[in-house]
Amino acid sequence: MTARINNETDLIGMRAAGRAASSVLEMIGEHVQPGVTTEELNQICHDYIVDTLDCIPAPLNYGGGGSQMPFPKSICTSVNHVVCHGIPSPSKKLKNGDAINIDITVIKDGYHGDTSKMFFAGEGSVMAKRLSKITQECMYKGIEQVRPGARLGDIGYAIQRHAESNHFSVVREFCGHGIAKVFHDDPQVLHYGRPGTGVMLEEGMSFTIEPMINAGKRQIKSCPTNGPR
């Protein structure tokens, strides 16, 4: 199956879910300050998602099975070298200059809205600001390729070319994904690749483009207690 918007009702639902997720990022920005803990940020977002938006925080208790525990929090907070899926903690207090990605997914009327944003506690370093800027540009470069008849490789190539031309690297262990009524669906959207390759895009496909870009090598290490690093 491929995540697909089948009709106008689906389109309206996805737009509403996306706006709701975006509003969480707009709300939380003023709270990202030196001294705040990532658990406090999680609680603020959770209360806003549930009480103000009347939505469900999709990450909370998501996944699990076998030896894997479900995700225990309502948002992901990935600080500095943590690439993604960082778990909020009462012991993780932000310091001046820390970079933090806050990843929000809400469920509104059965549809998932998934988005994230980089923030800085106090004044971020020149390198961190540049990395954040280039990563955002990579996302827009990928979005520019989206049209019926294009291929997923076109998206990945545009992102990889822009990142590497600025002397950064693309994380390959994680990718974008189909999304609509299911949190993570097909297709897998790689952030690297060759033009003219991969799945052909068709009208109605719904997926995320969320490049993860490193300063330095692309390889990561996985930490089971606090997400990939």
Helices (H) and strands (E) in the chain, counts: 4, 10
SS3 at position 200: strand
Cβ atoms of residues 222 and 82 within 8 Å: no
Report how far Cα 112 is from the mean position of its chain's Cα atoms: 13
33-52 pLDDT tens trace = 999 999 999 999 999 999 99
Closest CA to 87 of 38, 126, 150: 38
Give the contacts of 188 (CB within 8 A, at least 6 positions apart). Answer: 175, 176, 177
Q: Is the pTM of this model over 0.85?
A: yes
Please give the single-letter amino acid code of residue 161: R
Whole-number pLDDT of residue 3 = 79
CATH architecture of the domain 8-228 equals Alpha-Beta Complex (3.90)
C-alpha angle 159-164-167 in degrees, rounded to nearest 5: 140
pLDDT of residue 81: 92
Q: Which residues pair with 180 in a beta bridge?
A: none
